[in-house]
């Protein structure tokens, strides 16, 4: 079984969940140690700093789901350069790592993959700290 902690547009009910929805065999609310930042592109980034990030653990049986997520988690170059034309795309990509996740009772529930950035990457991209550790799609209106 492959477990992935998602905290942004891939969560159930968010705009990009359909990218992996057909592969999901289980989904449960979870949290992880870290900090969450809103990026100017309309999606968040998580760092391994002190704090709590709330999200969902998605479970898959097929490795192809992880391949699809890896492909999705690369920034769209046109959108990236529209917001930060002076940055280098390859320096600001997400890094997939395994982290410890916790259930709703804050009990450790195992390891899951997630997509992370460093604090320096987030700062270069003008990320805005989300102190409650939760991200929801922001209205563009």
* Sequence-ordered list of residues with C-beta below 8 angstroms from that of 16, at least 6 positions apart, any chain: 9, 10, 72
Tokens found for residue 92:
């600001």
Residue 140 is predicted with a pLDDT of 40
Strand partners, 98: 113
Q: Domain segments of the chain: what residues?
A: 2-125
pLDDT band at 139 (very low <50, low <70, confident <90, very high): very low
**Do the bridges between strand 128-129 and strand 24-38 make them parallel or antiparallel, or are there none, so unpaired?**
antiparallel
Residue 138 is predicted with a pLDDT of 57
pLDDT band at 74 (very low <50, low <70, confident <90, very high): confident
Q: For residue 6, is pLDDT > 80?
A: yes
pLDDT band at 84 (very low <50, low <70, confident <90, very high): confident
DSSP letter for 13, please. T
* Sequence-ordered list of residues with C-beta below 8 angstroms from that of 86, at least 6 positions apart, any chain: none
Q: Does domain 2-125 have CATH number 3.10.490.10?
A: yes
């Amino acid at each position: 079984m492959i477990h992935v902690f998602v905290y942004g547009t891939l969560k159930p009910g968010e705009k990009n969940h359909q990218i992996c929805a057909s592969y999901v065999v289980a989904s449960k609310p979870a949290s992880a140690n870290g900090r969450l930042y809103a990026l100017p592109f309309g999606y968040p980034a998580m760092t391994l700093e002190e704090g709590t990030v709330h999200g969902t653990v998605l479970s898959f049986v097929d490795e192809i789901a992880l391949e699809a997520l890896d492909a999705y988690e690369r920034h769209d170059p046109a959108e990236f350069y529209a917001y930060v034309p002076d940055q280098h795309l390859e320096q600001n990509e997400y890094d997939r790592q395994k982290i410890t996740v916790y259930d709703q009772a804050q009990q450790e529930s195992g390891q899951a993959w997630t997509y992370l950035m460093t604090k320096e990457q987030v700062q270069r991209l003008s990320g805005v700290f989300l102190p409650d550790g939760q991200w929801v799609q922001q209205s563009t209106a």
